[in-house]
Amino acid sequence: MYRRFAALWGQSLALGGMPQKVNSGRPIPDSFRWECYSLISRLVLVLKFPREGCYRATVSYKGQTIQNGDFHVIILNQEESFMVQKNVAKKNKCYEVKLLALNGERYQKSKKVYCYISPKQLTLKEYMWKFFPKHLITFRLCPSTKFKFQSSRNILQGDPILVIDDGCQQEVELISQDRNIIAATFTQFLLKNIGGSETFKDKQDFFQHEVRKYHQKHFHDKIFIKVTRESLLESSFKETKSFGVSDWCKNFEITFIGEEGIDWGGLRREWFELVCSALFDPENLLFHSFKSDKQGLVHPCPSYKRPSHLKLKYYEFAGKIVGKCLYESSLGSSYRQLVKAKFSRSFLAQLIGLSVHYKYFEHDDPELYVSKVKFILENDIESMSFGIYFTEEVYDASGQLLEEVDLIPNGSNIPVTNANKIQYLNALAQYRLTTSVKPEIEHFLKGLTELIPDNLLCIFDENELELLMCGTGSYSIADFKANHALSGATYEFRKVLEWFWIAVSNFTEEEMARLLQFTTGCSQLPPGGFAELNPKFHISAAQTFGNLPTAHTCFNQLCLPDYDSYEQFEKALRLAINEGSEGFGMV
């Protein structure tokens, strides 16, 4: 039996070894081939399996496993396939499973619980005295919820193991003879929820179709809004304060008090841009940047750094403005509204329900990452003359120390060691990026989800969510060539650099946005273009041959290895900036 996986045309990939059956680890010989369809720019991986079961496969480029290239393939027999189809049609199914680990606790003896799968979620429940259900944990049915498959050879019960991880809660480990049917049912619900495809363009089309469908009873009639330029944020908030969902779905016609302009669309676009600037510009202190310049990604400003007149209601208003932009864009290109903001990756991650960890500092707070996080990761903490504890000092906007916060219970008495320094860094990220701004994010989400259902937002990752909300912007190759830095003077690097300019000259706007995301952490340029990037976009030679390009977002640095030909270079560059995003996954 065969299964096909689609990838971008031009990705010169190899299957790392041969697919292995999970429960035995034995490789499957002669199990794959590639099919190329140049007319539709598609490369297809065809896998051949001798029988039903769960198999693991790895896709690599030049010996390097690509992101999302390590995946499992479930092959069902005819009876199992019929069961999955029946589950999807019924839209709700329950399976008895045995729970091995929950909330970080591993049970000495497995517990009998029940797994409920619906088009929106997967829930585990335990029945008390066989009658009273007790909720244990719920996972949203979205791409961030991942399944891991393990062998059962060391498990007395003999059934296969399934580990569920959504990047937000602690992993759950369970065993069930119906593991493959549970996973396949979940996957079919997921594909149905995101329109049947995992490419960004297809998910964007599906998202906009579903938003239109969600608001089909709300008419896009005109509604008049009068605001003043002098107090734009306050007057806009006051004008829309009493609006319900149906009002937010109407076509805003803007009047600036004291001006004679008639709104044929231009004033509305100007109003959106001005309101976004008032909400998200760090100088206005509703959002702030961890970097001292204007290029930093913006994050909600905690209450201890925010002026007292900027109440939480403004975050709810900001969420509604973003939701309004997404709704308008779903109506077609003539209504398209982009959010003029550069949101931090950790903020975007929290909008789609992901957990925050220390690696987000590299994008969001590069100064802290270089000065503290990287230092702790690369050095022996226990040999330092000064001690670090599980605490964080909190300062107000003027630099005055307010308090010292425990990052974990009794943190002021728990020293950071080499063994627990990752736990410390994650706790630091949780406090600085999440806990300290929890009310602000909750109010933002309240406004956003009033117009856009959260289950639709969750079909994207944080990079895709930025592209969806903020767009790609416009890019000038001439501006790029005039404003960049170089490191490397060899003949080989000059050759690769020439290939680089040829490649980016042929990039679409989305590919340029991906290149910027990959190198700088943000898909948008400052208002002044590449000239205002600080540090400059830095292209350097990597001392390797044939590997994928790498990047250091702290320094806006792109590292390019050497290659035999332009074709190899272009394939590697495209693969790096789109790494694993084009549909490798479980079928």
In order of their start, the domains of the chain are: 7-75 (no CATH), 78-194 (2.30.29.140), 213-354+438-468 (3.90.1750.10), 359-433 (3.30.2160.10), 477-580 (3.30.2410.10)
Q: 438-442, 472-476, 481-485, 537-541: which has the minimum mean pLDDT? A: 472-476
Q: What is the pLDDT of residue 82?
A: 92
Q: How confident is residue 174, by pLDDT bands cut at 50, 70 and 90?
A: very high
Question: Is 262's pLDDT higher than 80?
Answer: no
Candidates 488, 506, 499, 515; CA nearest to 565 is: 499
What is the tens place of the pLDDT at every residue in 365-380?
989 999 999 999 999 9
Q: What is the pLDDT of residue 584?
A: 27
Candidates 225, 215, 208; CA nearest to 246 is: 215
What is the tens place of the pLDDT at every residue in 178-191?
999 999 999 888 88
Token couple for 6: 């689609």
Q: How confident is residue 526, by pLDDT bands cut at 50, 70 and 90?
A: low
Q: 45-59, 154-168, 316-330, 501-515: which has the minimum mean pLDDT? A: 154-168
Token couple for 162: 């399934």
Across residues 195-199, what is the average pLDDT? 73
Candidates 251, 287, 283; CA nearest to 269 is: 251
Query: How many helices and strands, by DSSP H and E, does the chain display?
Result: 19, 24
276 is catalytic: no
Q: What is the pLDDT of residue 251?
A: 93
Question: Is 449's pLDDT higher than 90?
Answer: yes
| Packed helices 179-193 and 78-90: angle between N→C axes, nearest 10 degrees | 50
Angle value at C-alpha 343, between 342 and 348, nearest 5 degrees = 145
Angle value at C-alpha 164, between 161 and 168, nearest 5 degrees = 155
- In the set 142, 301, 554, 559, the catalytic residue is 554
> Which alpha helices (DSSP H) does 49-120 contain, by range?
78-90
